[in-house]
Amino acid sequence: FDSRFRLLRERVEAMKAIWTQEKAEYHGKLVDFDPVFAWPKPVQKPHPPIHVGGAFPGGARRAIRYGDGWVPILGPDLMKNQISEFRKLAREAGRDPAKLEVSLYGFPVDADRLKRARDAGADRVVFFAPPLARDAALEWLDRAAAL
């Protein structure tokens, strides 16, 4: 438990090495391997985007340190403050805040909250799709798509 965030960081760094180097190796405290070959390489360059989830400020700092985006754990009332603080921390760390996406996961299908998320600086929302029968699911999808 105490080493979980170090392990996460090292695994992400190791995967980036595998994805971007013909012959990759990684030597960390918890992840350690000699040169390996792995194909196919991802289509996205330099690698698929890494979105790091977690609460503020720890999750935000981890996303800034080795991610391409942040998936915060926050309530609707915290959105604006924490997203703007995330952008500020990114600038202070020498990262371009515009290149770090903020994705809100498990979002309700609610036009007012969606507008607030956009205004707070969220780049994307991922709706939570409830388990519904076919007709109800199609109706729900139509409502979500309209937003």
Q: What is the pLDDT of residue 24?
A: 98
Give the rounded percent of residues in the chain with a pLDDT score beyond 90. 86
Question: What predicted TM-score, i.e. pTM, was given to this entire model?
Answer: 0.85
Tell me the pairing of strands 24-27 and 69-72: unpaired
Q: What is the pLDDT of residue 51?
A: 96
pLDDT at 134 over 80: yes
Q: What is the pLDDT of residue 76?
A: 56
Closest to 11 measured CA to CA, from 30, 24, 34, 39: 30
- Give the DSSP per-residue string, 8-37: HHHHHHHHHHHHH-SSEEEE-SS-EEEEE-
Q: Model confidence over 21-74: pLDDT tens digits?
A: 999 999 999 999 999 999 999 999 999 999 999 999 999 999 999 999 999 987
